[in-house]
Chains A and B, each alone.
Chain A
């Protein structure tokens, strides 16, 4: 079939769809846009003053120059990783069977969706730019019009640039795998860029010229107009080149990869409609999973029955060493923050939250237990609740070790905020609380109970249930942040060590008894 004949047939299929399922009239589509614009405009005007002054504390030309390139780099990384699970072009499952499975030009089917994705990328980037400008112009500051336009253009171009990256990842399993392997290194590079930018004008210049992530923020990062214009030109050239390459490779994504993404999207949408976050997560994870024989962990089978669950967790964890590294990074960052800034209560809470995220990374076996509780009934003799409690042992041990290791350089550098010995003890004693909160959150299986849904829909919540749902979602992380953050903060006060130790010891007993009482289903 010639290209012209194929294109003609695609036109005929589009014409058929147009007749069989006419699109909504333009006025109807614009009405939805109008309602959203009106809502955003009204709320934006109401909140502008508050948001502007709150953002102004964080977003300044100086912080943008130091943090901006790293944040943009991480945003590009996240966008590219999005291609591993979904990506910019996702068809419906029947589309994969009937259209991609038919003799229609693949590029003709993909290109319009890819173009829309590029437009959405530009709009998202510009929206982020507007958000940044609100902060920059707060507290009586002003931003020069040219710089403001430059920032909007830079971030819009970055938004566009992200789409070809995600498309490249979507098209190729190898690229996707390599990106997954490179992600931790890229995160470290982003952290290094912050340190370099803060080291002085030369370091800042290096970071701002290190790539598209730096070029995009130059207009408001204290760079001279002529130079940031050159940066924007470079960014525009890189973006155009990436887009041309992506559009040329519109037919490069195999049917199999489209089908996997379509299945995942259908599964995740259905799960999210039922507010079942865990099933949605599993549906997405299925896209890049590689089933097959697993290598042995090498951990010896324990002789004592009580060690069966920790052995199972350790074996599972060692098969995915990336999780151990993530838990170490998050737990280590949390511990370091707690030891050096626990006198500041919000910092202590953030520290506890970071540690919570680290522990949660290692609770996947517990989540699997909750996914299929029948396994516990069949394979394990011990009561379900006790099995769940036993699942925290490995996570607790690993993050505890990381905390102890992190405490050494902090102590040697003299950066532990007060009474080093006492604070380290309290930080370690807080870990069971954090782990139990994470386990109690994981126990819910990411599925919202019917009672919560009913209360959300019929209760007194003025937001129509949104606040109730949000509270349900953040309950355990917030609990961990309050209790563990509170304990470490108390330990920094004059007579708070005893109270802190008491809090760190009593809370786990209470939480463990709640977890022990868990019933399957």
Chain B
């Protein structure tokens, strides 16, 4: 057995934060779409997967990871917007079930599409040369790329927060999630806002895919497990809350990581136990608004 030195606990904590970063990013996209459109996007994991594939594709095409970081979310976001315009929009006003089922079906279509385009085995992915290797943090060696990932997530979340708090578009998003009727009455083209928000949410999912690709195997099924985890995070944080998605993402990552060290058999279970506890004590999630589902 390994002794639980402070260094090991510290390293495990950092690992948890890195894990949490990807969860947080995914949950942000999911929360945004739910908060604004009241659409539960079951295809979120699939958009993540598409992002991973396209990220590798564009990186191979252009030879630059940085460039693929910019191009891929734009492409994935456009696919998302097409999906919103032609698939989801006709279902508004029919309750929460129809878009849920639709996005569920959409995920199957996206998975098959990637199989057809890139094969069933998936693509080999590697960390960009400059970001390779591990760093000695003093408490142990940690992959440089995962540190970069934490930084990138922080940057994206900050950018998103600035947009939501400081821009007019962000103002519309905040208002629209609180009361879409009034916003429409005030002359804002809500349909267009929803289109852009869906695009933004899926673009963020695609971005998480590009960022996650170097750390794991890229295959058509990779989005399926990730989807469950993103939902747990979104529920714990509160559907529709950006702050909630970030805090919950980090929390879930750390809980999973520490449980893996101390009681590994319960690691997979631990995040669902966390969700159950939060739902018992605070059903709207840590930062969610009560009655959002009503």
User: A and B: partners?
Assistant: no
Q: A-side interface residues toward B, CB under 8 Å?
A: none
